[in-house]
Amino acid sequence: MKFTTFVFIVFVVGAMLSPVPVRARVVESFKEEVNVTCDANELSSCLLPFTTGVSPSTTCCTKLKEQQPCFCTYIKDPKYSQYVGTPNAKKTLATCGVPYPTTC
């Protein structure tokens, strides 16, 4: 349990030290534009599933769907890539029905 606590603290501190949240704009089916504020803190409910592989909560899945346009930003950022690029993160995304980006 100490390792999980340590990982959580590192994640939170890293998220807090990150610059101002980035805004992502996504055009869905060329019909409407969706604005999303990319904030890794929004994914804190997914930390345990990402690090340990436990089943994600409904809150985690909801946040993953909301933050989906931001995944490439997280994957490219060394502070977050160690979490969102793991096999457990990919498993969590699949469980929540959110596709993992194939190109960024």
Tell me the average pLDDT across 15-21.
49
The answer, yes or no, to whether residue 27 has pLDDT greater than 60, is: no
Over residues 62-101, the pLDDT tens digits come to 999 999 999 999 999 998 888 888 999 999 999 999 999 9
Assign 91 to helix, strand or coil: helix
Confidence of residue 20 (pLDDT cuts 50, 70, 90): very low
**What is the model's pLDDT at position 4?**
60
Q: What is the DSSP letter of 103?
A: -
Q: Read off the pTM.
A: 0.66
All structural domains of the chain, each given as residue ranges with its CATH number in brackets, are 2-96 (1.10.110.10)
The C-alpha atoms of residue 93 and residue 98 are separated, in whole angstroms, by 5
Please check whether residue 83 is in contact with residue 67, taking contact to mean a CB–CB distance below 8 angstroms: no
Please check whether residue 77 is in contact with residue 43, taking contact to mean a CB–CB distance below 8 angstroms: no
Residue, of 103 and 3, whose pLDDT is higher = 103
CA distances from 59 to 2, 42, 95 (A): 24, 10, 13
Phi and psi, residue 56, nearest 5° = -75, 150
Please check whether residue 35 is in contact with residue 23, taking contact to mean a CB–CB distance below 8 angstroms: yes
Q: In this predicted structure, which of 19-23, 41-45, 79-83, 90-94 has the lowest mean pLDDT?
A: 19-23
